[in-house]
Amino acid sequence: MVKSSSAFTCTACGAAHKKWAGRCDACGAWNTIIEEAPLSRGPGRGLGAAKGRSIALAGLTSDEPALPRAQSRMAELDRVLGGGLVPGSAILVGGDPGIGKSTLLLQAAAAFARVGLNAVYISGEEASAQVRMRARRLGLSDAPMRLGAETNLRDILTTLDQERPDLAIIDSVQTLWADHVEAAPGSVAQVRAAAHELVTFAKRRGVAVILVGHVTKDGQIAGPRVVEHMVDTVLYFEGERGHQFRILRSVKNRFGPADEIGVFEMTGAGLAEVANPSALFLSERGQPVPGSAVFAGIEGTRPVLTEIQALVAPSTLASPRRTVVGLDSGRVSTIIAVLEARCGIPFAGLDVFLNVAGGMRVNEPAADLAIAGALLSAREDSAFPPEAVLFGEISLSGALRPVAGVENRLKEAQKLGFSQAIIPEGQKVEGLDGISVMRIADLTGFVGELFGAG
Ligand code: TYD
Ligand code: MG
């Protein structure tokens, strides 16, 4: 048997390689592969050589009471956590540098401390005095939480083991330094080792641990995507720098629904919760203008209305621009192709700009119809009726497919004063009046109904 004494890992994407190479096959980055000592040799040569300890097996039912979740009274945070903080859970909060992670987690620590949890916030990036100053500015000084400033993992674990808090926040995982791993802080090997130790500690001692992680430009937690697999819950804190809105999104949650969002607004005094995001995202809408379509979406369990904005202009470029913010650009290309092929509406020679108002991100396929609507409205220079919302998935044939959660979408639209909805023909709607529904079979029909062509 070949004995492997070392392994190679890409520091950019975390992919494992058998041997060193100048370029990582997985992500294409150059000079990112480093040699690492393996984490463990496993059972070794021949399973009989060293016997393991036998583990206790148990049934599915038990008399232990269900662990109570702790509610922070920050409703937006509790929702994203799936109804509160689960004791002993490991959570990763990722986001761009400067988006507000430290602010959010300092507020979260204070909120949990105020409801009686023993909360500890350990910063590897700022001195305690700096954190204290920020806490004062956020009006949190009276919260019974404690601060630490440390990057040495061994010291942090020893401290947490003595203190046994209910919640430990580590800001950030990239600053941690595990002295048993020979690699620089922030490297894949260090981050993986530190996250592994902290997650193991969380499970063993029943301490909820929140790890903060900086994300690289392409949206991966810098280096180690491995951390995502280790933790129970992965939350992303996102938003556009120029906008004050911030969205906390659960992309993985072992204790609740994924794709749940919490909406916050960055103010001079920290993050304020936004209880009605639809009203906020639509607040900038003025007179009806061409290129604007209101999408009735669902984020997690909550309906959220957003405005999709398009601009279509003659292009001077050989390959016209397709600039997309807040939507999946592959999806947008598909919709443009369907409009061209099935409805005979060319976009060649035209620059297309698309975005979601307010810095929101929309990933649902149900947004297809609103995207097509915004594109057509911009191209034909004809505004939508301002009282209409749209949703529906577009198939490659141009047909509209029904989507889930229709009652929720329509109720939210009605609540915000919309009186008309444009939806797929096959969509079943039960028990809703007060909103008139226009049913559309396919994209050609849609063009014909709304833009008098097709
Ligand atoms: P921070 O929480 O330090 O970001 P991260 O930890 O994700 O790097 O937030 C930094 C930004 O937030 C900074 O540019 C200033 C802004 N901010 C406010 O607008 N209001 C506030 O009350 C605070 C504390 C920060
Ligand atoms: Mg920070």
Tell the burial category of 256 from Cβ atoms under 10 Å away from its Cβ (0-12, 13-18, 19+). buried
Q: Is 101 within any annotated ligand binding site?
A: yes
Q: According to the model, what pLDDT value does residue 1 have?
A: 42
Q: Is 100 within any annotated ligand binding site?
A: yes
Whether 70 maps to a domain, the answer reads: no
Do 244 and 143 fall within a single domain? yes
Distance from Cα 94 to the centre of ligand 2, integer Å: 11
Do 237 and 370 fall within a single domain? no
Do 11 and 105 fall within a single domain? no
Do 429 and 305 fall within a single domain? yes
- Ligand 1 within 6 A of CB of 266: yes
Whether 47 maps to a domain, the answer reads: no
Domain that holds residue 249: 75-275
Question: How does strand 208-214 pair with strand 167-171?
Answer: parallel
Residues in the chain: 454
Q: According to the model, what pLDDT value does residue 2 have?
A: 45
**Atom nearest to 106 CA in ligand 1:** 2
Q: Is the pLDDT of residue 358 over 50?
A: yes
Do 298 and 445 fall within a single domain? yes
The SS3 assignment for 315 reads coil
Our count of domains for the chain comes to 3
**pLDDT averaged over every residue in the chain:** 88
Q: Cβ(443)–Cβ(372) under 8 Å? A: yes
Given 221, 253, 275, the domain boundary residue is 275
% of the chain at pLDDT higher than 90: 58
- Ligand 1 within 6 A of CB of 246: no
- Ligand 1 within 6 A of CB of 1: no
Ligand nearest to the CA of 99: 1
Whether 53 maps to a domain, the answer reads: no
Q: According to the model, what pLDDT value does residue 59 have?
A: 84
Q: Residues 48-93: pLDDT tens digits?
A: 556 788 888 888 887 766 668 999 999 999 999 999 999 999 999 9
Distance from Cα 228 to the centre of ligand 2, integer Å: 19
Do 289 and 362 fall within a single domain? yes
Distance from Cα 454 to the centre of ligand 2, integer Å: 52
**Atom nearest to 172 CA in ligand 1:** 6
Do 254 and 320 fall within a single domain? no
CATH number at residue 330: 3.30.230.10
DSSP 30-67: BS-EEEE--S--TT-SSTTSS--PPPPP--S--SSPPP
**CA geometry: angle at 355 spanning 351 and 358, to 5°?**
150
Do 318 and 388 fall within a single domain? yes
E-strand ranges in 187-279 read: 208-214, 233-238, 245-253, 261-267, 270-273
Q: Residues 387-398: pLDDT tens digits?
A: 999 999 999 999
* CA–CA distance, 435 with 440 (Å, rounded to integer): 16
Do 241 and 295 fall within a single domain? no
